[in-house]
Amino acid sequence: MPQAFLTSPLSSTDTQAAIAIEPTAEPSREKVLLTLTGSAFAIERVIHELYRVGFAEVREWSKPVPTGKVNEVMRVLTRYVIIE
């Protein structure tokens, strides 16, 4: 249900305003972190597949972070959902 996901309406220059406004503006928003863990190649394929079906832009995912295991990285996507 992609309709439940919200993008941040504020630009990076409005960060200070967001700190003061966001908690009272939308009390029904909840932060959700989606995490992919695996080889860099496999994660890249999944991210591009999610983009192809309209789930998330490729640039919205974090940069690859090593997990400490051989040939394994992690990438994270932050989304906000409406809780009713």
Tokens of 12: 């990076």
Domain boundaries, the chain: 2-82
Asked whether 82 and 31 are in contact (CB, 8 A), the reply is no
In 3D space, the residue among 81, 63, 83, 75 whose CA is nearest the CA of residue 7 turns out to be 81
Tokens of 3: 């309709």
pLDDT at 25: 56
Tokens 């998330």 sit on residue: 56
pLDDT at 60: 96
Q: Give, for all 84 residues of the chain, the pLDDT tens digit.
A: 444 555 555 444 444 444 444 455 556 899 999 999 999 999 999 999 999 999 999 999 999 999 999 999 999 999 999 987
pLDDT at 4: 52
Q: How many whole angstroms separate alpha carbon 63 and alpha carbon 74?
A: 8
